[in-house]
Structures are given as structure tokens and as C-alpha cells.
Amino acid sequence: MSALADRPEQWPVLETHDLHRDGWVVALRADTVRRPEGGDEAPFRRIVLEHPGAVVVLAVDDDDQVVLLRQYRHAAGHRFVELPAGLVDHPGEEPVDVARRELAEEAGLAAESWTDLGTSWSSPGISAERIHHFLARGLTDVGRGDFEVEHEEADMEVFRAPFADLVAAVLAGDVTDGPLVIAVLKAHAAGLVGPGLPA
């Protein structure tokens, strides 16, 4: 393991109680925590957003056009340019299988090849959400099956844009959705899509 690598660690939790739990996949709790070697230091409180994890799919066609969504996000008060994505909310389901399902449900597409771009933690100071990033190539239309869109997804626009233009938009700060930014920059840095942009 690299000296720069993150590592798992769990500090003692003295007390925990739910702030909000309604049966949905996400819940909010308060933990009273102490440092393992804290001595006489008083325990402290941390708020934790429980989250099952998510996937995001950088789906790129044979012309290096990226499949994108334009979707309203209430918490941020913005309509974002995003990638197909979804929750890992079925017990035992592998992230790549979730990615396949979400690509079909949100964009009506299947992919021939899948490349794991790694994972990232969205906001580890408060959230347990871990996002799995995938690159999907060899796209074919399959339709959405019996998936019915509702709420924000019913107002979602699906479109395509050149990968090079998307990289430029990310670097310019015009496109700011975190999972999209990470997936695009990882694929770009690794040279996995198209000729890339000049340095």
C-alpha cells in the first residue's frame, strides 16, 4: 500500500441515536465519538449521513460523444449536467451491475465494455456515500424496459456532447457536478477516451 493511500480506521462510538430514519435508503444519525488515544479529552459529537453508495457511468459512443443528463437537484437549487447514476440500494448487487441498470433506466442504453475508474467518497466529513465510477463503451439502444420516470427524472433531458468539450467545460468550471468531474478527469488523465486535449 502506498504511503499516500487512504486506510480504513474506526474510532470508538460511545453513543449513537437516529436524527431521521424513515425506511428510505438514506438516514441521519448522531454519534458520540472519542479518539482512541484521547486520554482525558472529552468525547465529541459527529453527524453521519448513512448512504448505501452510488455508481456513475461515463458512457461514451464510437464518436467520443458522452451521454449526459440535465437534471434539477433541489438541495443545490441548480439544474446540473450529469452522468447516468444511481444508488447501490439492492443488497448483494455488484456496483457494475447497478451501473448497467442505471444506464438502461436513465438513458435506454447498454454497453459492451466496462472499465472501472475507481471510487471516491463524496463528503467524508459527514457522509458515508462512496461512489463507484465506470467508463462504458460500445453503446447500443435497448430502451428503458418497464422503468417509469417520475419526480426530477420525469423532467430530465438526455443528450450527448463531445468528450473534449466536456473536459473543457469541467476545466472552465462550467460543469460542476462532483461525480461527473471526477469520472471525466480520471478518464482524460488515463487517456481512455479519444485523443484528449492538448496540454
Grid cell in block for residue 93: 448487487
**How many CA atoms lie within 13 Å of 124's alpha carbon, on the beta-carbon side?**
9
Helix axes 178-189, 163-172, angle to 10 degrees: 120
Residues serving a catalytic function are: 153
Q: How far apart are CA 96 and CA 112, in angstroms?
A: 12
Centre a 10 Å sphere on the Cβ of residue 69 and count the other Cβ atoms it contains: 20
Contact 159, 68 (CB under 8 A): yes
Q: What angle do CA 148, 98, 69 make, to 5 degrees?
A: 55
